[in-house]
Amino acid sequence: MNILAVGAHFDDIELGCGGTLAKHVKAGDNVIVFIATDSQFRNRSGEILRDGKTALEEAKEAASIIGYKLVLGGIPTFELEYGEAVHAKLLQIIEENKIELIYTHWCHDVHHDHRNLSYCTMHVSRHVNKLLMYRSNWYVSEKEFCGNFFVDITETWETKERAVKSYKTEMGRTGGSWLTWFRQDAVNNGLKMGVEYAEIFQLVKWLA
């Protein structure tokens, strides 16, 4: 199967669906990851909090751990808008690789880049029969994330964790809080399904 996972920033994919992608790779599927932005950002004083070059090197390490092909969008962080510039990039990947299943951000995420990229993905995936949305943060929105599609990642949790830890600068900046939250989330999702670890998605469409 040809899989496309769409993320706004480096580490979104690993946090939101890294275990599932590792499971696809293990099964022999062709997995492509499109990261739309350069992921560099500054604080209000102009100090760089995340350097784009460092983030890219960390992303390459994560890609090698999970085993996916990394495709870059190069859009500046916080400048990702819904429109043809992004649509064209996504359509090219979908058509050239005959994509059959797409993972994208939850469309009600409060992060500007996440939400816009989700709507772009839904727009271009009209002819892709399988589409799932993931969460890559815990931020509260005006909507509730409707997790109704579970994937057992017990055998690939360790791979996901190693991939997340490859983002050393973000792990250091946040004190590892993201990994802690997603580990607990995976445990809780696993309890619901009777497995050790599970990732959860909101199903948009699935043609069997």
Q: Among 97, 68, 41, which Cα is nearest to 160's?
A: 68
Tokens of 38: 């350069």
Tokens of 206: 């699935």
> What are the φ and ψ backbone dihedral angles of 64, each rounded to 5 degrees?
-70, -30
Domain ranges across the chain: 2-206
Q: State the architecture of 2-206 in CATH terms.
A: 3-Layer(aba) Sandwich (3.40)
113-142 residue pLDDT tens: 999 999 999 999 999 999 999 999 999 999
Longest dimension (CA), the chain: 51
Length of the chain: 208
Question: Can you tell me the mean pLDDT for 169-197?
Answer: 95
Distance of CA 3 to the CA centre of its chain: 12
Handedness of CA 55, 60, 64, 66 (dihedral sign): positive
Per-residue pLDDT at 6 exceeds 80: yes
| Whole-angstrom distance, CA of residue 104 vs CA of residue 6 | 5
Tokens of 90: 């996504």
Percent of the residues in the chain that have a pLDDT greater than 70, as a whole number: 98
Q: Which residue has the higher pLDDT, 55 or 118?
A: 118
8-31 residue pLDDT tens: 999 999 999 999 999 999 999 999
Model pTM score = 0.95
Q: State which amino acid sits at residue 26.
A: K
